[in-house]
Chain A
Amino acid sequence: NAGVTQTPKFQVLKTGQSMTLQCAQDMNHEYMSWYRQDPGMGLRLIHYSVGAGITDQGEVPNGYNVSRSTTEDFPLRLLSAAPSQTSVYFCASQGHSSGANVLTFGAGSRLTVL
């Protein structure tokens, strides 16, 4: 089925470990982004990309890296995990529907850092 696929769905890390959250979309969307969702905070933008080879920082980029080598994939890397990065992470892609931008979200990745 067309959409945004995130893996893994759940992950437990120890402080200092590194990992990559994967995100893939098959809708040929140019724009992709990563958000984190924390209780009482709403979703906050981490990084976004307007096309292959182009990335930029969002509201809360510290501690995360991204790259966009293909249109389909937009992985999020945690270089040295910290307990403050415990959150639910959502990847989203954005295309055009009837001339307007509609955001499509993945199912989320729940990360716990001990």
Chain B
Amino acid sequence: KQEVTQIPAALSVPEGENLVLNCSFTDSAIYNLQWFRQDPGKGLTSLLLIQSSQREQTSGRLNASLDKSSGRSTLYIAASQPGDSATYLCAVEDTGFQKLVFGTGTRLLVSP
């Protein structure tokens, strides 16, 4: 059974810092991996999707990498801003199915 772990569970940084969020998964036979953002009391917003054949994806200040062989993904946030404060979730989609397995998330607080 696929299991997804995110470390750290919470992170607090001052504005302007570059930071890395980690995601690991137990079964490397994945179809893709997605990173989501969740604001308190809101739904999830897709940030980046990495196909299994890709190594990384970038969107603005966000860069996500994928290493299937080691079962790891990282989300890099450059020059963090208070507006980046949210919970970040990663999820893997097992090959051939439209079902996602989620990690428990990293709660990020960026202080002005």
Contact = CB atoms under 8 A, between A and B. Distances in A.
Contact of A105 (B44, B103, B104): B44
A100 B51 CA distance: 8
A42 B105 contact: yes
Interface in B65-99: 89, 91, 93, 98-99
B98 A90 contact: no
Contact of B102 (A40, A43, A102): A43
Contacts of B93: 101
Interface SS of chain B: strand
A113 interface: no
Contact of B44 (A50, A90, A94, A101): A90
Interface residues of B, number: 23
Contacts of B103: 42
Interface in B2-52: 4, 32, 34, 36, 41-46, 49, 51
A78 interface: no
B62 interface: no
Most buried by A among B4, B36, B46: B46
Contacts of A48: 98-99
B43 A107 contact: yes
Interface of B: 4, 32, 34, 36, 41-46, 49, 51, 89, 91, 93, 98-105
Interface of A: 4, 31, 33, 35, 40-45, 48, 50, 58-59, 90, 92, 94, 100-108
